[in-house]
Structure formats: C-alpha cells, structure tokens
C-alpha cells in the first residue's frame, strides 16, 4: 500500500526537473532516507548529479556526493527510470512568453511523458508555480489517459515550492509546506509525505486553493515592492529619504512589514508569477488591477534608474555620450548566482546606447551574453573602479567593500542603500530614494 510505503519511507520518490527547486527537493528527501530518482532533460545536469557535483549554490557537492554514494540519489534523462516510483514530484519551469502569457508547455510535456510510465497506487505532485486549476484542468486529464482511476489507484496533488535560493535562515528544512489534492486521499497522502520530510504541513481543501496560495504569496511581494518603488519616485521629488521613512515605519510592532525599493524585480518568480493569475482571471471577466499597476511600476524602475545615471553624470559635468559606467552586481538579488530576469541586464540594455562604454563586475557571474555583446566581469580593484565616470550599484552582494568602492569612485549611484554605513565621500553618492530630484536640495 502506498500509504505504508510513505510512512515507512520505503516509497521510491521521483523528481522531474533538477533545477533550483528540484535538486534541493531531491536532496531534502534523500537526507531523510528516501531513495530518489531525478529526471532532467539536460544530460549535463544528470551527469553532474550522478558524479555528485552540484550546480546549485545552496547544495554542496560534498553533501550531494555523499547522498549519491549511499545510493539515495541517482539521475537519468529517461522517464522509464521513474517507472517504479511510488511518488513523482514535477518541478519544471513555468515561464511567460513575449506577450507575458503563461507558458505551461513544460508541465504539459512532462505530464504526457509521465502518463506513459504510471502504475497503480502512485501519487503525483505538481510543484511548479502555475495558475489555479492547472492541476485539475490540465494535468489530471493527461494523467487519466494512462487508464488508471483517479482517487482509486492514482492520486494527484499540488504543493507549491517556497524555496528562497540564498536564504540561510529559511530553507526547505524549516519552511512549512502547503498541500491540496484533487480529492481527500490525495491530500492525505501528500500531507503524510511532506510531514516525513519537512515537518510542518498545511492542508488545504483543493489543489486550486494551494495553487492560488502560492500566487498570493508572490503577488503580495510584487505589489508591496511596487508600492514602495512608487513612493520612492515621490520622495525623490520631495527631497525625503524613503529608506529613513521605511526604517522609521518598521519600528511599529504591528500592521507594517518593511519592503525596500530597488532597480526592479528579477528572478524566476516575482516578475512572472503575477501574470499567471492575471491571465487566468480574464476567463472570469476579471481584471487584476493591482497586478497590472505593480508590473507597470516595477518594470519602469530600470528606466528610472537609467535616467538617474544620465542626469547624475550631466550634473557632475560629464557628457553621458562620452561616459564610462561600471555596473556593480548583475545577479537578480544579493549573494545568489542567478541572473534570470535581473534588472541589471535591462539597465545595461537601456544604457548601452546612451553612454560610451558600460562594463560590470560580479563575483558570481564571469561572463554575460546580451544582445550580441559579450561582457566579462572586471576585477573590483581601485585601479579599475577609478577608470570609470560612474559606479552603479545594482546588486548589493555582501562580499563588497562599500567604503573601498566609494573611495575609488568618481560618482556612485546606489540603488540598494548599500552604502548606508559609508562615512567618507558621501557627497559622491546619489541614492535611489534619497530625495535626489528635489530642487530644494
């Protein structure tokens, strides 16, 4: 029986998609003693896993190789290798297309391949972030083609992934999991599974409730970042420092949660997931205005930052057309090795034709291929920094010495308040949200 196999950790667990979500998930299960088979269509990733070499920052090769040696994790490109699995978790990408509509083609392709290798008494869990009703309206009909009966010998649930790459405090080990099944038995089985591995599990009444929960979490973040970004543009005009305002508001012990401004939002979740809901909402003649306004504001931030660079250069007597700009940090957030949808890339694209030369430095990214141009990370030496007319801080990695950066720069544009502790050379710093556009300054 599947239930007993889960409870005794004898269940063989499959994970499809060994990326930022799938590989840490596979390791979380293996750490707890489950045997895991990972499937990825990229042969390179599969080979790396089998050699015990991690390509995901939060998983060390030391740990992965230990799990592989113990026979707890193996990987393959062949779906036949998950034929014996009792549980399969789907962790494939859910991007948006050029028109910002959801692209669930990875979920569809995976479900089709999976439906050919299913057996009775198996639990499938979709982890990929997607619009409500995907599990019921898209995945379920495909899996039913296997001939198995849902709720009798096949079980299906949605459980959103909350992993926050780079977060040392909250990892998969201590972040509660939400589960919602197609029926009560599916919910119960998914609950039992995650209880064994993660501990804290919240059951909800349906798969679509679990799907909506994930979107609410990320839309909440997107909307609040947009709100603070909009207020940043106002405080810049009014000569008020938004960072000081937020720090002061955050002393209120209830009813307020600090969000900070920045050069835009990036990564595989915050800029993308809201569009999944706004697209689905239209089917119900519903327009999700908050999502639209937030997207407009956050997507406008790279342009706002680019304009600040141009006017700051002009204000210091440097013609932008002849200026050299050094971008500090290109990943989408601090201390992670992930450039997906990074606002830095957008800002480089915008500034490329407005200044003479644009370069970057980032300890996590050696090289960028952007619109037929290749950029190589420069070493962050005093000599390098001082060659540039402007240093533009976009990603505030914790390894940077901000005193050193300011000391060696002619002009610093700080979009993260990374230089807040710097005492010397403050007159060189133009701080996003620092009241920089006020005539009264």
**Active-site positions?**
269
Binding mask 142-161 for ligand NAD (x = CB under 6 A): -------------------x
Q: Which is nearer to ligand NAD, 19 or 66 (CB)?
A: 19
If 0-12 CB within 10 Å is exposed, 13-18 middle and 19+ buried, where does residue 126 land?
buried
Compare residues 127 and 196 and give the one whose CB is closer to ligand NAD. 127
Q: Is residue 346 at the binding interface for ligand NAD, with CB under 6 A as the rule?
A: no
Q: Determine if residue 39 is left, alpha or beta; phi over 0 gives left, psi from -120 to 50 gives alpha, anything else beta.
A: beta
The residue of the chain with the least Cβ separation from ligand NAD equals 19
Residue 233 or 269: the one with the smaller Cβ distance to ligand NAD is 269
What interhelical angle do 343-352 and 289-315 show, nearest 10? Answer: 50
Instruction: Compose the 42-81 pattern: x for residues touching ligand NAD by CB under 6 A, - for all others.
Output: x--x------------------------------------
Contacting residue, 109, 216, 234, 249, with ligand NAD by CB under 6 A = 109
> Is residue 172 involved in binding ligand NAD (CB under 6 A)?
no
Q: What is the residue whose two structure tokens read 């393959």?
A: 76
Do residues 341 and 395 make contact, with C-beta atoms less than 8 angstroms apart? no
Candidate residues 48, 54, 89, 94; the one interacting with ligand NAD per rule CB under 6 A? 94
**163 sits near ligand NAD (criterion: CB under 6 A):** yes
DSSP reduced 3-state for 154: strand
Closest CB 390 distance from ligand NAD, rounded Å? 32
Instruction: Print the binding letters for residues 251-290 with ligand NAD: x by CB under 6 A, - otherwise.
Output: -----------------xx---------------------
Does 179 sit near ligand NAD (CB under 6 A)? no
Phi and psi for 289 in degrees, rounded to 5?
-60, -40
- Cα(105)–Cα(41) distance, integer angstroms: 14
Q: Which of 14, 93, 132, 181 binds ligand NAD (CB under 6 A)?
A: 93
Nearer to ligand NAD, 41 or 410 (CB): 41
Using CA atoms, how far residue 179 sits from 39, 160, 176, 202, in Å, is 22, 7, 10, 6
Rounded to whole angstroms, the Cα distance separating 382 from 267 reads: 30
What backbone torsions phi and psi does residue 246 show, to the nearest 5 degrees? -65, -45
Q: Which of 9, 340, 29, 334 is nearest to 177 (CA)?
A: 29
Q: How far is the CB of 48 from ligand NAD (least distance, A)?
A: 11
Residue 92 binding ligand NAD, by CB under 6 A: yes
Q: Are 321 and 356 in contact (CB under 8 A)?
A: yes
Task: Give the nearest distance from C-beta 402 to ligand NAD in angstroms.
Answer: 27
**Minimum Å distance from CB 16 to ligand NAD?**
5
Q: How far is the CB of 272 from ligand NAD (least distance, A)?
A: 7
Please pick, from the candidates 39, 204, 225, 351, the single residue that binds ligand NAD as defined by CB under 6 A: 39
Q: Which residues pair with 394 in a beta bridge?
A: none
Q: CB of 239: closest distance to ligand NAD in angstroms? A: 37
Give the CB-side neighbour count of residue 365, counting CA atoms within 13 A: 29
Least CB distance from residue 300 to ligand NAD, whole Å?
Answer: 23
State the Cα angle at 197 between 332 and 270, rounded to 5°.
20
Contact 416, 396 (CB under 8 A): yes
List, in order, residues 6 or more apart from 95 with CB less than 8 Å away.
Answer: 103, 268, 272
Residues 12-31 that bind ligand NAD (CB under 6 A): 16-22
Q: Which spans in 260-338 are helix H?
A: 273-282, 289-315
- Residues at the contact surface with ligand NAD, assessed by CB under 6 A: 16-22, 39-42, 45, 91-94, 106, 109-110, 128-129, 161, 163, 165, 268-269
């Amino acid at each position: 029986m599947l239930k007993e196999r889960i409870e005794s950790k004898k269940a063989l667990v499959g994970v499809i998609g060994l990326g930022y979500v799938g590989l840490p998930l596979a390791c979380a299960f293996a750490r707890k003693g489950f045997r895991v088979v990972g499937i990825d269509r990229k042969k390179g990733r599969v080979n790396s896993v089998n050699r015990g070499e991690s390509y995901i920052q939060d998983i060390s090769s030391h740990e992965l190789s230990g799990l592989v040696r113990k026979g707890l994790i193996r990987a393959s490109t062949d779906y036949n290798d998950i034929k014996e699995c009792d549980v399969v978790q789907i962790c494939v990408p859910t991007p948006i297309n050029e028109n910002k509509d959801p692209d669930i083609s990875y979920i569809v392709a995976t479900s089709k391949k999976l439906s050919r290798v299913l057996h009775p008494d198996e639990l499938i869990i979709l982890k990929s972030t997607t619009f409500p009703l995907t599990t019921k309206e898209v995945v379920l009909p495909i899996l039913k083609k296997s001939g198995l009966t849902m709720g009798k010998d096949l079980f299906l649930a949605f459980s959103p992934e909350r992993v926050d790459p780079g977060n040392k405090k909250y990892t998969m080990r201590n972040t509660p999991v939400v589960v919602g099944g197609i029926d009560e038995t599916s919910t119960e089985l998914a609950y039992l599974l995650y209880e064994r591995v993660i501990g804290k599990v919240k059951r909800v009444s349906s798969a679509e409730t679990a799907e909506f929960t994930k979107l609410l979490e990320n839309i909440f973040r997107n909307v609040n970042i947009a709100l603070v970004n909009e207020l940043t543009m106002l405080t810049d005009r009014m000569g008020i420092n938004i960072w000081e305002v937020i720090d002061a508001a955050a002393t209120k012990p209830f009813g307020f949660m600090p969000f900070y401004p920045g050069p835009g939002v990036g990564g595989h979740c915050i800029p993308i997931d809201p569009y999944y809901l706004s697209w689905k909402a239209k089917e119900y003649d519903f327009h999700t205005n908050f999502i639209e306004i937030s997207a407009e504001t956050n997507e406008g931030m790279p342009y706002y930052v680019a304009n600040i660079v141009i006017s700051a250069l002009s204000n210091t007597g440097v013609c932008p057309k002849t200026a050299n700009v050094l971008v500090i940090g290109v990943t989408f957030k601090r201390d992670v090795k992930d450039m997906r949808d990074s606002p830095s890339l957008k800002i480089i694209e915008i500034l490329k034709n407005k200044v003479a030369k644009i370069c970057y430095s980032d300890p996590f990214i050696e090289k960028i291929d952007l619109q037929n141009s290749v950029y190589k990370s420069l070493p962050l030496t005093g000599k390098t920094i001082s060659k540039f007319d402007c240093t533009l801080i976009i990603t505030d990695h914790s390894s940077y010495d901000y005193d050193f950066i300011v000391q060696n720069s002619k002009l610093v544009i700080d979009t993260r308040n990374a230089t807040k502790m710097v005492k010397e050379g403050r007159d060189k710093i133009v701080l996003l949200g620092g009241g920089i556009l006020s005539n009264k300054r």
